[in-house]
Structure 1
Amino acid sequence: MSLAGKTLFITGASRGVGKAIGLRAARDGANVVIAAKTAEPHPRLPGTIHTAAEEIEAAGGRALPVVTDIRDEASVEAAVRQAVEHFGGIDVLVNNASAINLSGSLELPMKRYDLMQQVNTRGSFLCAQKCLPHLFEADNPHVLMLSPPLDMHPRWFRDHPAYTIAKYGMSMCVLGMAEEFREQGVAFNALWPRTLLKTAAVDNLLGGPEVSGRGRYPSIVADAAYTIVTRPSRQCTGQFFIDETVLREAGVSDFSPYRVDPERGEDELQLDLFVRP
């Protein structure tokens, strides 16, 4: 299948993984709704919804930048309404926007706990709820959560229980909604990177360029996301995918173009959180 003429509603698409997914879809001639908060340049974070829109259109797609706070119901409703009015519908929802804080239980300020819950779990649920009436009308409707596979081993909770709870909440939406909307043919799946990615979060919060140099570019997640959302929705739902596994099954064997440091071997890359060795 192709995404030509399809409309993707992508949260957090002004930079990083969200923008990469939009750029991959644009190569097919897709319509991309950039639903994010950054309308003006940020002192530490690259890109805005407008610069992302320019890149997506240069790549061959059509873009609609919409200032969206996924914590706010009215903001999401307005963004979905604009998307439908502009492009005629929604075919794919990508819940990419996320908040991260890896503090332990005693160190984490409650406002940061609340932020992670509001953006990750609640925001993803909210966007799915508002997009679903339009996804029901699509030929091949997909909802893709950028969230990890569910694994109840204590190792994933011990060091950062609040973050794990917030991200697993997204994955639990996949588990529940895949069954809830199976008969309507709306696919709900999760996708997670095998390795660290070079993103603003890693470069600014999680160790800097030295750490992200042991990872891959967001394009690997974008290529895996494209592979998933172009599958028949009724045959692909309720799954928890890892980017590298998706692409290997699709026939990719050379992952060197995705490496941030081309001199670093595959066995030297750092695994992402929630991925077993």
Structure 2
Amino acid sequence: MGLAEDRVVVVTGASRGAGKGIALALGATGATVYVTGRTRSEGESALPGTVFATAREIDERGGTGIPVVCDHSDDSQVEALFKQVERESGALDVLVNNAFTIPDGLARKGPFWEKPLALQDMFDVGMRSAYVAGYFAAPLLVKNGGGLVVNTSSFGGRCYMHGPAYGAGKAAVDKMAHDMAVDFKPHNVAVISLWMGLLKTERTQAMFKGVPDQYKAFAAAAESPEFSGRVIDALARDPRLMSRSGQVLIGAEIGAELGVTDVDGTRPRSHRDTLGDPPTYNPAVVR
């Protein structure tokens, strides 16, 4: 894997939110970061942020940001993304699978059959998109002789969170990380699923602002979107990385182990005690 200053990274779904924070944190190490997303200009989304704005901020932080407008529901666009990485950079060190659609009605109260059927879109951009990006990134990672793939996930893979569509999608990317790790192991490529805590994204900040008293405690415990990027950087540098491959890791816990702090110098707390333990998988391999 390349040193931080010449590392080549792809972060999917990085116009805003967790992806943007991860891309900025990795860019601050001096890396070249390919930023993907659908938003070309402000106003296309109800929330602020574009792939171009994220890439410019990476440049300002000392890295090289490369914006790539990419719809991760379109396999041909994803394939073109990794052909561009190969053509321009010739290598790939880190892939962060973060692209995720958040349908209207996700956090609505009530059983799943009273919510929009469109919640299944999370199976496409979220679950399926992680598989497709891993598929097209694999030859570059193998050629590189080592690397790291991170699927961003959450405690929703283990507890009830927003209903069965959200939970199934998160559980799927957790298991996908475990199984991809088996195939990548001979090539020194590690695969991790990272459970993030509640993040101070554009979406949640708007929610906190709308009802500040109701969400006061949640806001106080939230992580910056950059914290996960700092954790991923620390994992990429960790000499024990391959021994962690295939695992579902809680960002706050692995961050504490590796000495990572948030942007304000604090250490976010783990929600294991209230939301559950990461899954452990049987070591059997059936080919």
Q: Same fold (TM over 0.5)?
A: yes
Q: TM-score of the superposition, structure 1-length normalised?
A: 0.84
C-alpha RMSD of the superposition = 2.9
**Cα gap change, 1:102/1:3 in structure 2, threshold over 3 Å: closer, same or farther?**
same
Give the whole-Å Cα distance in 2 for the aligned partners of 1:136 and 1:119: 25
Partner of 2:190: 187
Q: Which stretch of structure 1 is more off in the superposition, 179-188 or 70-79?
A: 179-188
Cα contact 1:76–1:130 (8 A) shared by 2 = yes
Partner of 2:143: 137
What secondary structure is seen at the aligned counterpart in 2 of 1:189? strand
CA positional deviation for 1:79: 1.1
Q: 125, 131, 141: which one pairs with 1:125?
A: 131
Partner of 2:275: 275
CA positional deviation for 1:159: 5.3
Give the whole-Å Cα distance in 2 for the aligned partners of 1:94 and 1:106: 32
Is 1:11 aligned with 2:12?
A: yes
Give the whole-Å Cα distance in 2 for the aligned partners of 1:255 and 1:238: 25
Alignment coverage as a number of residue pairs: 264
Cα contact 1:27–1:60 (8 A) shared by 2 = yes
Give the whole-Å Cα distance in 2 for the aligned partners of 1:12 and 1:70: 8
What secondary structure is seen at the aligned counterpart in 1 of 2:160? helix
Is 1:25 aligned with 2:33?
A: no
Which residue identity is paired with 1:64? Answer: I
What secondary structure is seen at the aligned counterpart in 2 of 1:63? strand
Cα contact 1:196–1:270 (8 A) shared by 2 = no
Deviations 1:23-81 (A, max 9, x none): 22222211100011111113521111111111001111112100111111001011111
Q: 76, 79, 100: which one pairs with 1:77?
A: 79
Cα contact 2:156–2:167 (8 A) shared by 1 = no
What secondary structure is seen at the aligned counterpart in 1 of 2:188? coil
What secondary structure is seen at the aligned counterpart in 2 of 1:13? coil
Higher helix share: 2
Give the whole-Å Cα distance in 1 for the aligned partners of 2:85 and 2:262: 35
Give runs of ≥4 in structure 1 deviating > 6 Å: none
Partner of 2:245: 237
After TM superposition, the structure 1 = structure 2 runs for residues 168-247 of structure 1, keeping only pairs within 5 Å, are 168-193=171-196, 195-204=197-206, 208=210, 210=212, 211=215, 213-214=219-220, 215-232=222-239, 233-247=241-255
Q: Which stretch of structure 1 is more off in the superposition, 208-217 or 20-29?
A: 208-217
Partner of 1:60: 62
Give the whole-Å Cα distance in 2 for the aligned partners of 1:97 and 1:273: 28
Structure 2 unpaired stretches of 5+: 278-287
Cα contact 1:69–1:75 (8 A) shared by 2 = yes
CA positional deviation for 1:157: 3.4
What secondary structure is seen at the aligned counterpart in 1 of 2:67? strand
Cα contact 1:149–1:240 (8 A) shared by 2 = no
Deviations 1:85-115 (A, max 9, x none): 12222111100112242453112222221x1
What secondary structure is seen at the aligned counterpart in 2 of 1:146? strand
Cα contact 2:157–2:174 (8 A) shared by 1 = no
**Cα gap change, 1:206/1:12 in structure 2, threshold over 3 Å: closer, same or farther?**
farther
CA positional deviation for 1:141: 0.9
Give the whole-Å Cα distance in 1 for the aligned partners of 2:231 and 2:255: 6
CA positional deviation for 1:258: 5.8
CA positional deviation for 1:274: 8.2
Cα contact 1:13–1:19 (8 A) shared by 2 = yes
What secondary structure is seen at the aligned counterpart in 2 of 1:136? helix
Give the whole-Å Cα distance in 2 for the aligned partners of 1:40 and 1:249: 39
Q: 139, 143, 163: which one pairs with 2:166?
A: 163
Cα contact 2:155–2:276 (8 A) shared by 1 = no
Deviations 1:165-198 (A, max 9, x none): 01111111112111122122211101112x4111
Q: TM-score of the superposition, structure 2-length normalised?
A: 0.81
